[in-house]
C-alpha cells in the first residue's frame, strides 16, 4: 500500500514539475524572432525578369534602415526603380520586419514585387 501511495505522489510531483517548467518558458517575442544585423537580398519580379537589390538593417525586430539598389538598364525602368528607392524608407523604416510589405509606390507597380521578394528572403536570413 505504501509503495502505491509513493508511486502516485511521485507521478503527481513529476507532472507538476513538468507543467511548471513549461509554464516558465518565455514565449518568443517579436523582437526575439529576428537577429539584429544587416541583411542583403536581390528581389526578382516581372517577366524579363527584372531585379532590385535590398539591404535592411534590423534592430530589436524593427527595420532601422533600408537601402534599395536599382538594377534596371532600360531608362524608364531605371527611373521607376530610382523613384521607388527614394520613397521606400519613408514607408518601411520604423516598422516591424514582420509587417513590411509594400504595394504600388512612387508610380512603380512592378518594383514592389521585387522588393517584397527580397524582404521575404531577408526575413528567412534574419530568423532565429
* Any domain includes 20: no
In sequence order, the 6+-apart residues with CB closer than 8 A to the CB of 67 are 54, 55, 85
Torsion of CA 69, 71, 74, 77, to 10 degrees: -50
CATH at 43:
3.30.390
For all residues of the chain together, what is the average pLDDT?
A: 84
| Phi, psi for 22 (deg, rounded to 5) | -70, -30
CA distance 75 to 101: 26
Domains identified in the chain, total number:
1
* Any domain includes 9: no
User: What percent of the chain lies above the pLDDT cut of 70?
Assistant: 76
> Could you tell me the residue range of the domain that residue 111 belongs to?
30-126
The model's pLDDT over 53-84, given as tens digits with 9 standing for 90+, comes to: 999 999 999 999 999 999 999 999 999 999 99
pLDDT at residue 52 above 80? yes
Task: Kindly report the pTM of this predicted structure.
Answer: 0.76
pLDDT at residue 33 above 50? yes
Question: Binning pLDDT at 50, 70 and 90, where does residue 121 land?
Answer: very high
* Any domain includes 2: no
Q: So what's the pLDDT on residue 88? A: 98
Cis peptide before 49 (omega within 30 of 0): yes
* Any domain includes 12: no
The arrangement of strands across the sheet holding 37-45 comes to 37-45, 50-59, 62-70
Amino acid at each position: 500500500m505504501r509503495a502505491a501511495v509513493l508511486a502516485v505522489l511521485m507521478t503527481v510531483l513529476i507532472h507538476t514539475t513538468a507543467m511548471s517548467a513549461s509554464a516558465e518558458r518565455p514565449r518568443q517575442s517579436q523582437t526575439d524572432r529576428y537577429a539584429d544585423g544587416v541583411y542583403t537580398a536581390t528581389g526578382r519580379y516581372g517577366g524579363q525578369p527584372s531585379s532590385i537589390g535590398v539591404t535592411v538593417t534590423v534592430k530589436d525586430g524593427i527595420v532601422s534602415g533600408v537601402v534599395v539598389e536599382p538594377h534596371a538598364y532600360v531608362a524608364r525602368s531605371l527611373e521607376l526603380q530610382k523613384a521607388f528607392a527614394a520613397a521606400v524608407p519613408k514607408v518601411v523604416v520604423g516598422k516591424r520586419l514582420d509587417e513590411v510589405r509594400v504595394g504600388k509606390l512612387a508610380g512603380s507597380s512592378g518594383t514592389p514585387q521585387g522588393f517584397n521578394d527580397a524582404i521575404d528572403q531577408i526575413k528567412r536570413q534574419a530568423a532565429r
